[in-house]
Amino acid sequence: MSEVYCTVNDCHYWGQGNVCKANKILVASDDFGDSQPDQIDATMASQYSPTPSKGSCMSTCCKSYVPRGTNKINNDNITKMT
């Protein structure tokens, strides 16, 4: 994937240099992120309807975020690259 930088260092996919190590991610509106379970993520992204923001980066989120060290890391079928 193209380079994705992220400063959210409590995410399972975060890497040194603020690099996202996920093989794919899904960015969506906050409303979509709030309403969907962990299994709804990047692997099936082409099947979802577009989710407009409210005109601000503050109303978008990384749906692929997973807290590091939790048992949720396998819920989204995303691979962490080395």
Q: Rg of the chain's alpha carbons, rounded to an integer?
A: 12
Judged by CB under 6 A, the residue of 2, 3, 13, 45 near ligand SF4 is 13
Q: Rounded to whole angstroms, how far apart are CA atoms 7 and 40? A: 23
Judged by CB under 6 A, the residue of 25, 32, 40, 76 near ligand SF4 is 25
73 binds ligand SF4 (CB under 6 A): no
Residues that bind ligand SF4 (CB under 6 A): 4, 6, 8, 11, 13-14, 20, 22, 25, 62, 64-65
